[in-house]
Amino acid sequence: MSESKHSLDVQLLQAKWVLGGVEPEQLVQAAVLALEQGFDGTALQQLAGLSHPATRDLGTLPARAFAEMGLKPASEDEAVSILLDRDEPRTSAVISNFRHAFPDFLQRWRKYIAYEGGNSSGSYIDMGEVVDFVVEDVYEKGNLDETRRAFQFLEQQLLGADEETKNLIGLGFFETLQCFASWRQGGNRVYEQFLGPMSREIWVDLQRMWAGKSGLADVIRAERKAKEPGKS
C-alpha cells in the first residue's frame, strides 16, 4: 500500500488496516505523513516514532491515532463498504463493469475484498471470482438465463477490445472456467451452449492448446517447441 504525499485518504487507510491489508511499518509511514499534513495527537506522534514495529507492539495506538484524525471505529463490513464507495481495490474495467451489471455478484466480491485485505491481487486473480460466481452461484443454482446473460456480457466486452482485455477474458475467464468446471458435475462442456461467436473461438483455441497435455508444464513445452527455428 502506498499513499501520495499530497492526498492521504485516512478513511481508506483505516479500512485497509481493519481488513489487515496494511503492514505496521506502512501505518508508521502514514502517521508521519498525517503529521506533515496537519493532523496531530499523542497517539499519532507515538506511532510515527516507532521503528519497524510488529502488530503486537502497536496495542491501541492505531485506534487512538485514527480517532485523532477524526474517525470512528469501523467494523470489517464497514471497511469493505468504504472501499467499494471509492471503487477500491482497483481492478480491470471488465470486472468493474461486471460487478455493476450483476448485483448478486456483490456479496461474493465483498468477501473477496475482505479476504485480500482491501488490496488488489491482480485482474487475473480477480477474474477467478467471476468464474466462481458464474459456476457456483448462477449455473449450478439452475439459473440458466442469468448464466446466458453473463456469457453475453463477456461476448459484448470482447467487441473492439484491446489485447490486454482479450487476454483477461480468454485466459482469466474461459481458461479458468474450463479447468475449474472440468472437475464438477457435467464437466465444462455444459457451458458451450452459452458461447457467442468470439467466445467460442477462444474456447476452441484453448481446447486445442490443452489437447493431449496433462498440465501447464506440457503446454509451456509445446509452445517453446513451436517457437524453435524450423518449427511451425
Mean pLDDT of the chain: 90
Q: Among 5-19, 108-122, 141-155, where is mean pLDDT lowest?
A: 5-19
pTM across the whole model: 0.84
| 147: in domain | yes
On whether both 47 and 20 belong to a single domain, the answer is yes
Task: Answer whether residue 229 shows pLDDT above 80.
Answer: no
DSSP class of residue 173 equals I
Looking at the fold, whether 72 and 96 belong to one and the same domain comes out as: no
Query: Given this model, what pLDDT does residue 218 score?
Result: 38
Mean pLDDT of 187-209: 95
Residue that terminates a domain, selected from 19, 53, 77 = 77
My answer on whether 46 and 69 are in the same domain is yes
Answer yes or no: is 232 within a domain.
no
CA 58-56-79 angle, to 5 degrees, is 70
Could you read off the pLDDT of 206-224 as tens digits, one per residue? Answer: 999 877 544 443 333 344 4
In whole angstroms, give the CA distance from residue 37 to residue 90: 25
Residues facing residue 7 across a β-bridge: 4
Q: Is residue 85 part of a domain?
A: no
Domain count, the chain: 2
Domain containing 131: what range?
Answer: 91-227
195 plus 99 within the same structural domain = yes
3-state helix, strand, coil in the chain (%, to 5): 70, 0, 30
